[in-house]
Structure 1
Amino acid sequence: MTFSSAQIQDQVDAVMAIVGTGVLPPIVQAGHPVLRAEAAEFTGQLADAELAVLIEVMQKVMHAAPGVGLAAPQLGIGLQLAVLEDLYPVAETVADIRSREPLEFLAIINPRYTALGSETAAFYEGCLSMTGWQAVVERPARVQLDYTDAAGSARAAQYAGWQARIVQHETDHLGGILYIDKAHTRSLADGAEYAARWAQPGIELAQQGLRF
């Protein structure tokens, strides 16, 4: 499935119609076909002003969730666009073990990431489109991200630790990939079980208890 310019415009119009009522659009959940389709490359399908409004809406939805990233397909829009931001307070021990540093707000268009080196890191992840579930995903610890910014300029940046995880998670969404596709499925836990048993900075207890 690919998305035409007309389809993308219809999807954006549907989101904006909801916004026009004074509420934020819902985040679509796993099982919605838009989450499993390759999002269309942005080639100017939206005017600059419309793109800016969409980015602003996505940021508000991400904050309200709350989350650290949101991809356009999560609002039902098949376009290669995502927003990232991680400025939440985190305990020092958690930040240290997970290499979690603050990430200022960033909108990325047509992103691609490339692993830098062979080092990987495995931690629990969740997704706003799989509400109430967590699973361990092993990902490259460092990546280079190539993307276009909201002004239309080509950018490249390197990310490590938790920032690299966010970059990969959101970019994967644009290829129709959910984190569960890359997860250790034996680690899958609902929110209550995760909070009660496995919500430590690392995954060692979960590895022992769930045998993965």
Structure 2
Amino acid sequence: MKKLVFGLLVIAVFGCGLYIYHVCFGDPFTKNAAKQKLISYAKQTYPKKEIKITNGVYNAKTSEYVFQANTQSHRYPMCTKGFLYPKVTCDGIEEAYTESAAKRLNEEASKEIEADLKKAVPQIIKADTALSIENGQFTLDTKWNKQLAEKAPMSITMQLDASGLSKTGASKLAETVRKTLNEKRYTYSNGTIDCMQKDGDGGIGL
């Protein structure tokens, strides 16, 4: 009886040890399953790209395996989470594409808004837009159009030269901006207008 109890105790301690090791460092079986999942995911998601999955590391804080997705010119992180059926939890390639698409679309939107405002408000100095784009929402080939802001909320920050204007005059100028944006049918979640003043050296500041 004592031998049975001792044997069960040894098995329990060994099992706890394996569990703790798995929680802290992962295990080769789960790591291999994670790698195979990413290899399959990469082939299905990016069939035209040659991608190699390497350097898997277990992140105990997030319980994820983090690998490198290597293309011919770049390295991107890719992550999975789960034991028997791992799921892809991060895709650095998709994030990089989204960031690149967002940068270009924001630049195109800013230029268009500046041009539209310039006709009604010559005092416009600069317009900056920020589209809230989710990963994979738009492709690199997506071209800017006003309808995109209905899918990805857009905020606009505008700078105006309000030199010599009173508070009332600056308010009227800001109202003209708001009306112009509405007339041009821009959809935006919020807009900020900074009225700038020329300083003694002729520069522009708040």
**Range into which the TM-score falls when normalised by the shorter chain:** under 0.3
Question: Higher helix proportion, which one?
Answer: 2
The TM-score with structure 2 as length reference comes to 0.26
Bigger radius of gyration, 1 or 2?
A: 2
Q: Which has the higher contact order (CA 8 A, sep 6+)?
A: 1
